[in-house]
Structure 1
């Protein structure tokens, strides 16, 4: 058993985290976490769920090139059943060492523990045609989680704007901004969305983004540079998100949403 210097303040390795005012609610604050390994989102969903005053967990809205929707196997369910969700040290270590290293199992592991509600993923990859169909997961407590995958931003928007969801964890994997992803198809060639397309999609006045920000309970960003075509390309996308949403830049002193008063 690892003995931690401070077991009450442990986070997964390499994470940058910032406390921000809520983008639309003047009485609330949220956290944003940025990390390379997408599975570390599991740690933050658990942390933020512990602070959730509602019995129902927020839904997850994820933008990702991959679906990242592998179901936990029986062994993983046994590990999850034994996991002490009140211990940041234990959950941090679990996120690093026991969640799948290829970062494809964290979402449904979180759903199995009811850390997230229904799941909405706008993605570009499916292993087979039926992988685009809606699915269901029954968690360890008997709750049903609907899993929806969307090929286009517009269909995601239409579904969510007509839903009854009241709270959201917003999740972006930066490889989402690639179109042809050469690491995934073995070609090692990449093409990307144009900057203006990304700006239009993520604009705070875009109906879907406005809807998300009204309900936002936490914001995770996975940089995963190898899936973006390199570290500089990944950093470019992170810098673009920072320019779209924040002033001064993300993680700078007194950083806040561009449209909010400076601290």
Structure 2
């Protein structure tokens, strides 16, 4: 009898990579639109265990509430329901998937390393979903700031608190984290060179922070978002530069 294909093979447009032999997560999921993180997180977490802490690196704080948060399927509805919801119900601008994942019971708290706040983004530090669960939203602009708050928390810093409380971590990266809008034309983005990518991802003193993230990380999700990264060719070049630092230096794995 022919067996069913593995679940991840049913996620159109999602590439699953093995990170065996490195440190941190054993699997990575690569896709273009960031909203496909929702079914990828469901696939990575499986059916067991509670929600994970999301550690996200992005240019934007993707915490705009879904238009119909009560319509987001619970994770118990299965991968197909979450995949269809991500593709057909979430916003094509790719900024409501994080709160949707909280509604689904996939993500508990979130540590958001991001610099820009889209219009309509949720502004408080606790999100209460439609099922009555509360989620911490800890936002810092850079890895350097997150690492500093982890090493020596100042009053009000919660980076160490959410990391220590988490049982599992989903590490999420949006490629546009490594771009800057042009001063001459805000619709044009400038990809960062390798040296700046490395300085951002691996600043001095960040190793204790990354160790705390990676020892609990069950999966890496990576959104390529070419329309936010200068187009297909530019985003491809940027992906290669980021992969050298992210995979080889941070995860100690071979780049895809």
* Structure 1: unaligned runs, 5 residues or longer: 1-5, 248-255, 259-263
Q: CA deviation at 1:175?
A: 0.7
Q: Which of 134, 153, 159 does residue 144 from structure 1 map onto?
A: 134
Q: Does 1:63 align with 2:57?
A: yes
Q: CA deviation at 1:72?
A: 2.4
- C-alpha distance 176-84 of structure 1, shift in aligned 2 (>3 A): same
Q: How many residues align?
A: 236
Contact 2:174/2:225, CA 8 A, preserved across alignment: yes
Q: CA deviation at 1:140?
A: 4.2
Q: What does residue range 172-211 of structure 1 map to in structure 2 within 5 Å?
A: 172-180=173-181, 187-203=186-202, 206-207=206-207, 208-211=209-212
Q: CA deviation at 1:108?
A: 0.2
Q: CA deviation at 1:121?
A: 1.3
CA distance in 2, matches of 1:175, 1:199: 15
Normalising to structure 2: TM-score of the pair? 0.78
Contact 2:72/2:104, CA 8 A, preserved across alignment: no
Normalising to structure 1: TM-score of the pair? 0.76
Q: Which of 33, 39, 45 does residue 41 from structure 2 map onto?
A: 45
Q: Which of 141, 149, 156 does residue 146 from structure 2 map onto?
A: 156
Q: CA deviation at 1:78?
A: 2.6
Q: CA deviation at 1:212?
A: 1.6
Task: Report the equivalent of 1:228.
Answer: 229
Please report the RMSD computed on the Cα atoms of aligned residues, expressed in angstroms: 3.2
Q: CA deviation at 1:22?
A: 6.8
Q: CA deviation at 1:124?
A: 2.1
* Structure 2: unaligned runs, 5 residues or longer: 150-157
CA distance in 1, matches of 2:52, 2:192: 29
Q: CA deviation at 1:246?
A: 4.3
Deviates most, 160-169 or 230-239: 160-169
Q: Which of 71, 85, 109 does residue 78 from structure 1 map onto?
A: 71
Q: CA deviation at 1:195?
A: 1.5
Q: CA deviation at 1:76?
A: 4.0
Q: CA deviation at 1:201?
A: 3.2
- C-alpha distance 61-236 of structure 1, shift in aligned 2 (>3 A): same
Q: CA deviation at 1:134?
A: 4.0
- C-alpha distance 37-131 of structure 1, shift in aligned 2 (>3 A): closer
Q: What does residue range 116-127 of structure 1 map to in structure 2 within 5 Å?
A: 116-127=107-118
Q: CA deviation at 1:169?
A: 0.6
Q: CA deviation at 1:229?
A: 1.1
- C-alpha distance 94-7 of structure 1, shift in aligned 2 (>3 A): farther
Q: CA deviation at 1:7?
A: 8.0
Task: Report the equivalent of 2:155.
Answer: none
Contact 1:124/1:179, CA 8 A, preserved across alignment: no
Task: Report the equivalent of 2:165.
Answer: 165
Task: Report the equivalent of 2:152.
Answer: none
